[in-house]
Structure formats: C-alpha cells, structure tokens
Structure 1
Amino acid sequence: MLRLIPNAITLARLCAVPATVWLILHDSLDLAFFLFAAAGLSDALDGWLARRWNAQSPLGAMLDPVADKALLVCSYLCLGWRDVLPDWLAILVVFRDVVIVGGVGLLAVLGQPPRMAPSMLSKCNTVAQILLAALALATAGFGLPDAGLLGLLIVVVAVTTTLSGLAYFAQALRRGAAP
C-alpha cells in the first residue's frame, strides 16, 4: 500500500494544476500561493518517498515530469498573463519545455527514445522556477515587499532555463539527432 503513495501525491499535484490556474486567473493569488506551494513541495516529497520506500515505478517516472511541466508551464503562463511575472520569462519557460517535449517526441518517433534522466542543472532550474512562482504569488497575493529577491530570482530562472535548455539540446546533438 505504501508503494502507491508517491504516485498518488504526483497525481494530486497534476490535479492541482487546474485549480491553481483558476485561482490565478480569478485574482485569488493568496489562495493560489498556498495551493502552488503545496504542489511544489509535493514534487520533492513524492520522489523522496518513492526512493525511501523503494516504490519507484515506470508510471511515476512518466507522471512526475508531466505533473512538473503542467504545474510550471500553466502557472508561468497565467502569472505572465496577469503581469505578476514578465511576459518574456513566461515565454522562455514555455518555449524551453515545448522544445524539450517536442524533441523527446521526435526522437521517439524516429525510434531513438531518449533516456529521461534530468541533470542537476535541470533539477536546480525546476527548484528555481518553483521558488520564483511561489514568491511572485506570495508577493502579489499578500502585498509583501519584494526587497529585490523577485528580480534576483527572475534572473536566476532566466539563466537556468536557458542553460538547461541548451544542455538538453547539446545532449541531443551528441546523440546524433537535434530535438
């Protein structure tokens, strides 16, 4: 029974995406913060539990990145739309993920499905994206002062998003097929 919990947490994160989007678009940024923060924390929790309980599964390996991408892409699109984060950053985050997913799909169609093991840079990028979105929601939702941290995280996310995207592209080129 314990082996099912990590996948259930991942599914809950995926199910939190529409509610998070709805809350952001309806200007309930304070509530969106709590839901997004819980979903963001669940990203670390499900993986940790799966490793701790030796409950890693092919389903979890597939669902976890889907839930991550759905949460982050949808949140960044909405935060850009609501002018909580810069439009260009939302476009950058979405573009990187579309190129990666498209590249993986293309490689699979070509009979060269890539091994999906995120790099440390990509993991740092995901953490930075979660922290930035959570901080942006908290700042806008609760009227908190920014103190420059938001601007710093915007730069960090822009850099890690770009570098991790380029790293995936270089990895695909080394394999002999561009994404």
Structure 2
Amino acid sequence: MSPVIGYYILHNNFTTALSLLTFAAITDLVDGWMARNWNMKTTLGSALDPMADKILMTVLTISLAGVELVPVPLAALIILRDVGLVFATGYYRYASLPPPKTVSRFFDPTLPSVEVQPPTISKLNTLFQLLLMGLSTAAPVFGFVNHIGLLGLQGVVAVTTIWSALHYAIKKNVILMGKEGPKAP
C-alpha cells in the first residue's frame, strides 16, 4: 500500500492518501495487537512488520519532500539515519554468521541474528516522525500547510533524528547479537 499512498501524495490527491494512510495505521495497530494478545507472533511477521513500517516511512518522507510538504534537508536526514542503521545491522548480521558465510545463510531466520534494542530517544524520534508524516499528509486537506506548529514539529524531528543517529553511533550496546552470538563491540 505504501507505493499507492506515495503515488497519491505526488499527484496531490491528499484526501485519498490520508484515507489510505489512516487505514494502514489502523490495520497495523490491530495486527500488532492481535499478534501480542492472541499469541500469534511469528518470526516472519517480526521481520516483515518493521520492514513494512520502514518502507512506508521512506515512501512518505520522499513523497512529502517531493511536493514540498517536508523540507528536502530534513527528508535527507531521516533517510540517511535509516540507511545507516540498516547498514550497521547488516554488518553485525554478517559478522555474527557462523561459516560458511553465504547469501542464503545471511537471510536464514533460523541462524543467530542481530537484535536492535532502540533507545528511548529512537522511540521518541519514531513517534515524532510518524506525527510529522501524518500531519504533513493531512495539512493540505485541512488547510494548515506551513502552520507554525508543523514547522516546530519539523525542528523537533530534525533534533531527535540527529540525537538518535548519534546515540546509535556512539553507544555500542543497542545492536546485540543473537542468543548464540556475542554482543556487538
């Protein structure tokens, strides 16, 4: 659904984009609630859900920057932080693989893996980014584009994104190896 939302944003159909984004958010919340409360967690789901969330955030960030509802420098900052985290996680995943190191073993969920334990600042950053993307999508629909509150939220997102990136870069205990592997240096 992420590419469809991005398409509607890029074609200035913000009402449809906002409707689809709201639907995606509600179904994601219900799905997560069901997985936790009805013991329906799966390895595949635990990998795909965060990936789908990252894809949605990336599509929203790029699309909203493309129609000038999110500043391009802020969008670049958000994307660069996420790309850096993905590369760091991939590096530690590769380092944790027992020999032989192959592509199929890299993606094998039965082998020990890395676990990212997001710090509080990263959780706050995610919350502020979600608010910014949702409100930026809603702004043209409800007439609050360039509202001072929205501009302030952009500043908060910039600060928390930088703070979160620095935390991941400096603190070495946020990316952990799987149960059988050692902690990352």
Indicate the TM-score class for this superposition, using the shorter chain for normalisation. Answer: 0.7 to 0.9
Moved more, 100-109 or 38-47: 38-47
Offset of residue 20 of structure 1: 0.5
In angstroms, what is the RMSD of aligned CA positions? 2.1
Offset of residue 148 of structure 1: 1.8
Offset of residue 173 of structure 1: 7.3
Larger of the two Rg values belongs to structure: 2
**What amino acid maps onto 1:57 in structure 2?**
T
Secondary structure of the 1:95 match is helix
The normalised TM-score by structure 1 is 0.80
User: Mind listing any 5+ residue stretches in structure 1 that lack a counterpart?
Assistant: 1-15
Percent identity, aligned pairs only? 35
User: Mind listing any 5+ residue stretches in structure 2 that lack a counterpart?
Assistant: 98-112, 175-183
Offset of residue 36 of structure 1: 1.6
Task: Indicate the residue corresponding to 2:22 in structure 1.
Answer: 37
Partner Cα distance (1:40, 1:130) in 2: 10
Offset of residue 137 of structure 1: 1.1
Q: Give the structure with the larger helix fraction.
A: 1
Partner Cα distance (1:49, 1:122) in 2: 24
Note if 1:57 corresponds to 2:42.
yes
- Equivalent positions of 1:75-94 (< 5 A) are 75-94=60-79
Distance 1:127 1:91, change over 3 A: same
Note if contact 1:28-1:141 (Cα within 8 Å) is conserved in structure 2: no
Task: Indicate the residue corresponding to 1:131 in structure 2.
Answer: 131
Task: Indicate the residue corresponding to 2:179 in structure 1.
Answer: none
Offset of residue 47 of structure 1: 2.2
Moved more, 81-90 or 109-118: 109-118
Task: Indicate the residue corresponding to 1:164 in structure 2.
Answer: 164
Partner Cα distance (2:122, 2:18) in 1: 23
Q: Give the number of aligned pairs.
A: 161
Note if contact 2:74-2:158 (Cα within 8 Å) is conserved in structure 1: yes
- Equivalent positions of 1:6-155 (< 5 A) are 16-111=1-96, 113-144=113-144, 147-155=147-155
Partner Cα distance (1:153, 1:37) in 2: 20
